[in-house]
Amino acid sequence: MVLSEFLDKWNDRSETLLVHTSGSTGKPKPIQVEKTRMEESARITCNFLGLHAGDTALLCLPLDYIAGKMMVVRALTCGLKLIEVSPSSHPLACLVGKGRNIDFAAMVPMQVYNSLQMPEERRLLLTIRHLIIGGGAIDDAMEQQLRTFPNAVWSTYGMTETLSHVALRRLNGEEASLWYTPFESVRVGLNEDNCLVIDAPRVCNAVLTTNDIAEMAEDGRRFRIMGRKDNVIDSGGIKIQAEEVERLLCPYVLKPYLITKRHDGELGEAVVLLVQSTDVEQVREVCRRVLPKYWQPRCILSVSAIPMTQTGKPDRARAERIASRGKEQ
């Protein structure tokens, strides 16, 4: 979808807009969302960040999904000046040397990572007054680099159903934290499976029970995400969180990788590691050294590329299919 198409749909007589979920754990699902709630979400974000009419906002995410759509809605609702660039892995490349000041930008981790690798793009990234990062986990190495940024950098938590984010976590400065803080109008809690429950009446007309396993801070308001319920691997009666295994491997496996699972006659489910490397034995040795005994991958598969969704998230459904076949298709 291009900007003119989105604006046509936004300005038509319908009170709702068709959006699709990201598809990180399966096929993207279409849902209808109310335009008035999208406007309310836009106001909440802009008010929280202190953005005002005339501030610039960078649109570098696909308009097929909620994150890109909401950048446009924030501009329309709050009077921001939209700077549009084609969605790519290097969103700042075309702006280097143009003298454009960016007050607000939203990116996925892959875009931030790539921008950090190029000196001129990194310098431009440093000047963004408010940078929000969503759509995937931020690894420790990237967070360490962002910690010294002079302007505000945030990790976001949300989903299509909540019209983008409902909580933010500051990554740098004195306010840096491991915990997400919900917006004032949002209430969160845990269900019996320790999955996050979200009550955000200004942007969603129903209480949402997520598949995100979370931990609540002592104040009963802030939270942090441990992983997804869908990503629990039940291996021989031991429950293994895929994201936790990935975090342990992060400092040692330098090539892109992903933890997934496949059916196993003995264990029920077995841990499988997909890695974008041909040196499987070296990766196996790292796993032996770093991971607990029962977290060891039963199988390590070399792949040409880690499967990703169009929004830059790991495509865990496709990864599981690769693991089940024992090879790429």
Cα distance between residue 172 and residue 63, in whole Å: 28
State the pLDDT at residue 25: 54
Q: Are strands 130-133 and 164-170 parallel, antiparallel or unpaired?
A: unpaired
pTM of the model: 0.82
β-sheet with 81-84: strand ranges across: 81-84, 56-59, 104-107, 130-133, 152-159, 164-170, 181-182
State the burial class of residue 237 (Cβ atoms within 10 Å of its Cβ: 0-12, 13-18, 19+). exposed
State the pLDDT at residue 326: 86
pLDDT digits (tens, 9 = 90+) for 61-111: 999 989 999 999 999 999 999 999 999 999 999 999 998 999 999 999 989
State the pLDDT at residue 27: 67
State the pLDDT at residue 135: 85
Structure tokens at 229: 């319920």
Q: Mean pLDDT throughout 117-130?
A: 97
Residue 329 has pLDDT above 50, yes or no: no
Specify the higher pLDDT residue, 110 or 126: 126
DSSP 142: H
State the pLDDT at residue 311: 75
State the pLDDT at residue 28: 75
Angle at 191 between CA 186 and CA 195, to 5 degrees: 80
Mean of the per-residue pLDDT values for the chain? 94
Share of the chain above pLDDT 90, in %: 86
Structure tokens at 309: 């969704």
Q: Mean pLDDT throughout 5-15?
A: 97
pLDDT digits (tens, 9 = 90+) for 253-291: 999 999 999 999 889 999 999 999 999 999 999 999 999
Please, are residues 190 and 198 in contact by the beta-carbon 8 Å criterion?
A: no
Please state which architecture CATH assigns to domain 3-182.
3-Layer(aba) Sandwich (3.40)
Superfamily of domain 236-325: ANL, C-terminal domain (3.30.300.30)
Residue 144 has pLDDT above 90, yes or no: yes
Task: Return the domain boundaries, the chain.
Answer: 3-182, 236-325
pLDDT digits (tens, 9 = 90+) for 158-202: 999 999 999 999 999 999 999 999 999 999 999 999 999 999 999
Cα distance between residue 308 and residue 314, in whole Å: 4
pLDDT digits (tens, 9 = 90+) for 190-234: 999 999 999 999 999 999 999 999 999 999 999 999 999 989 999
Q: Mean pLDDT throughout 13-38?
A: 85
Residue with structure tokens 């005002």? 52
Specify the higher pLDDT residue, 311 or 112: 112
Helices (H) and strands (E) in the chain, counts: 9, 18
